[in-house]
Each structure stands twice: as C-alpha cells, then as structure tokens.
Amino acid sequence: MTFISIEFLLFLTLIVGTYYMVPHRYRWVLLLLASYVFYATLSVQFIPLLLISTAFTYVIGILIEKQEKKEQKKRLMWVGVSVLVFFLGWFKYFNFVNDSLRSFATWSGFDYDVPYREIVLPLAISFYTFQAISYVVDVSRGKQKAERHYGYFSVYFAFFPQLVAGPIERAKKLLPQLKTEQHLDYGNISYGTQRIIWGFFKKTLIADRLAPIVASVFNSPDPTGSEIVLATMLFSIQLFADFSACSDIAIGCARLLGIRLSENFKQPHFAVSIADFWNRWHITLSMWLRDYIFMPLAKGKKKREQIYGAILATFLVSGIWHGAAWNFVLWGLIHGIYRVFGDHTKQQREKMASWVGFDRVPTLHRWWKIAITFQLVCFSRVFFQSHSMAEAFSHAKLYVTPSSWAPSGMMQAIQMFSLLDLIIFLVVFVIVHLFQHIERTRGSAWDWMARQSAVTSVAINLFLIVSAFLFGVSSQGFVYGGF
C-alpha cells in the first residue's frame, strides 16, 4: 500500500474520518495502529525492528534525562547513538564494507573469507534512525524533555505520513502537535487535499513518466554522450518531482489530521549556489546534518581549513546516508568540494562578475548562477544514478565532453521520447513552472489558491485529478522510499 494507490486513499479516508470521531485521549491509539498497519503492508517482517528501535530510544532518553552530571548524560547519549547507528550499519552497510574489504584484500594479496550475507534493507530505517538520533542528542543537550508517554512517543517514531521518506521531524515540533487536540477544520482539509492532489500530479505525470526514459539510457551498454547529458538533466527533474511529490503527500496527509510537517523543498533548481541548493533541497536532512554533524565538528574551530574539513565530513555522511556504494560516497564528496570551492572563491567570483558587467544586469547574473548551479548538481547526479564507479566515471566523462552538447546530438537524443510523452512532459513542465512562478512572485502558492473563488479552486483541482487519471502512470515506487 504505497502513497500512490487507491488502497492508501481509502485507508487515509478511513483514518481521517475515525480520527475526528474518537475522543482526543484515544487518538494516539488510532494513529499508532494506523502507522503500524501502514508499515506492515510495506515491510511486515521489519515491524519487530521498528518496535525494538522505538523501545530502546524511549528508554535511553529517560535514562539520559535522569543523569545529574553532563559527563554521564554524554556517555549515555553516545551509547544510544552507537546502538542506533549499529542497527542502521548492520542492515544497510554490512555488505558494502564487507565487499570493499574483500576487494582490498584481493588487490593487496591478503586472505579474506568473511562471506556475503543476504541482508534485506528495512524500509525507512535511514529516516527513523536519524529522527531517533536527533531525539537522543536533544535530550542529552537539554533541548528536549524525555517523553514519558510511551504511546505518543511511539507515534512520533512511526507517524505514518512521514515514516517512509520524511520529512525528518524533531520531537520538539511533532510531539506537542500530537498531544494537542485537533478539531475538524475546513482550511486544513482543503489544504491537505490540495497538497495530496499536487503530489499525485507531479508523481504520475512527471516522475513516473520520466523514470523509464532515464532508465533506458543509464541501463544501456553504450549510450551516446548526448543521451547521457539529456538523461541526466531529466533525472534531476524526475528526482525532484518524485521526492517533492512524496513530501507533498506526506504534508497533505498530516494536515488532514491538523498536524503541520516541515517543508522539505523550496524550488531547489532555482538555487543560485550549491549552498543555496542545500537550503532548498531535502531541507530537513540538510538541517539535521548541520545540527548533528557539522556544528559539533566545527565547534571551536577558527581556521578556515578546519571548517572546510567539517564541511567535507558532513557531505561525506550525506553521501553514505544516501546509499551503500562508493558512487554515493563520491557524490557526497563532490558536493562537499563544490561547497568548499564556492566559499573559497566567493570574492574572486564576485570581482569577475563585476568585471564582466553582471552587476549592472542583476537579473541576467542571477539566471547565470542558476544555470551553473543546476549543471553542477546534474553532473554530480551522474554518480548518483550510475550503477558502479566504472560506469559513473564513463558517464561523467561523456557529460563533460563538448561534442555531447552538440545540437545535432541533442536532437537525436530527444528521440528517446515518444511524441505523446514529449507533449505531456512539455505541458506539465509549463504547469509546474507556472505554479513555481506564483510562489516566487506572490509568496505561497497555497495561499494564492485559498484566495481564489470556489469555482476556480475546484476547476484547478479537477484539472489536476483528471490529468493524472488520464495520462499519469504509476509503475514506480518513490526513489527515497528505499532508504
């Protein structure tokens, strides 16, 4: 039962309808039951791991809070973090480390006989582990009181709208909302429904339509350079549509229950720098990495080289979190290098822009920076999408080869689209950009929607629903759903 299914919509309707009928003091029971049922339909064999992780985090949080000395709190905090990381590491990284050691042993001539193990990655373990770590660390820092109500804590740990792919929520934001009595509100129902419709629209008409086209290139044994260039840029659009759609649906589902989840995307492909990109893309992960990796590493550091080391380490963690493969590690380091290089050359680039005359045409300068940032992000995603390091380097070489960008080659590469796919993509692409234009010029597109007449609002939503129903496809799971 994935987000993009009739079964989920029926399930959600049942939960929302029941939620507002039962007394507030019993709603946590309903939400917990709904969360476990939802998770069980996707990965029932890992319900015990979810229960164990929840119980351990709950207990360690209370034990940390009971300690009187900071050293004791810190010691227990490290115990808690280590156990949670061990759970994640065993399931997600054991074979990656094992295979890497075997390859190194073969290259160096040493014997290494630890066998490969068939380990299935538990659904959502990367997301709920990071959420658990933030809770444990915040309790140890005194920023969060340890939750005593096991039911509410369990709902926080496994809240079904954001369990599978985030947003990664902090306890101080989500727990109080779960405890506050929510009332049936037309504004919440309208907003939540519109976010869900918009998520379905992006997922079925952009992400899942682009997915097989992109895969056909990256699975090809001998793609042309122009195909790699076009497929990589399309993959960036696919990935954004897929992940932001998942966040839209999660935010919409939670709002139907009166609960506000954090925004996870703010038009990342309009970023003017890599730093700006990470303030717009997967925002809750970026904030998590800043607060729990970068800030501790950079604390007390004054030399620029030390700060740069902390930046590289943070992006290395980001890469490892995204996937248990060397191409993900390299992808993270590439973004770290981007970030360091951008900071180190900021003054020189500003002088160069002034010399060229960009400062006299700020709009042109802004779009130039947007284009450069987008291409830097796209180049890194060659490593994100490739299946091996050898393939990644081969594709990366093709991406930066000048002949790959030749107009004749790009026109041939466009033939990977069928005529229908191309028309649908262009129409939907324009619609999404109109939506984003409203956000850039009028603040919130959702506030703009709320100000429209009932007829206009219904017409827009009916158009999105009918378009998704007639032309949408849904053969793919969410990209980040496997994390």
Among 65, 78, 261, which residue's Cα sits nearest to residue 148? 65
The backbone torsions φ and ψ at residue 344, rounded to the nearest 5 degrees and listed phi first, read -70, -30
Does a cis peptide bond (omega within 30 degrees of 0) precede residue 167?
A: yes
Residue 385 CB partners (closer than 8 Å, separation 6+):
214, 218, 232, 235
- Alpha-carbon distance 325 to 343, whole Å? 28
Rounded distance between C-alpha atoms, residue 169 and residue 157, angstroms:
9
DSSP code for 165: T
- Is 395 known to be catalytic? no
Contact 277, 373 (CB under 8 A): yes
Token look-up 């959600």 returns: 12
Tell me the Cα Rg of the chain. Answer: 24
Rounded distance between C-alpha atoms, residue 444 and residue 221, angstroms: 44
**What is the distance of C-alpha 339 from the center of its chain?**
19
Which is catalytic among the residues 282, 322, 335, 395? 322
- Region of 418 on the Ramachandran plot (φ > 0 left; ψ -120 to 50 alpha; else beta): beta
Ramachandran quadrant class, 430 (left: phi over 0; alpha: psi -120 to 50; beta: rest): alpha
Q: CB atoms < 10 A from the CB of 245, how many?
A: 27
Asked whether 56 and 85 are in contact (CB, 8 A), the reply is no
| Token pair 């692409």 in the structure block, residue | 429
Per-residue tokens: 470:
């007639």
Q: What angle do CA 314, 169, 29 make, to 5 degrees?
A: 145
414, amino acid identity: I
Please answer whether residues 409 and 403 qualify as being in contact, where contact means their C-beta atoms are separated by less than 8 angstroms.
yes
Q: What are phi and psi of 354, to 5 degrees?
A: -65, -40
Residue with tokens 């939506």: 435
Tell me the H-state helices in 401-453: 407-413, 419-442, 445-451
Residues 135 and 156: their CA atoms lie apart, in Å, by 10
* Token pair belonging to 316: 């290395």
What amino acid positions are annotated as catalytic residues?
Answer: 322
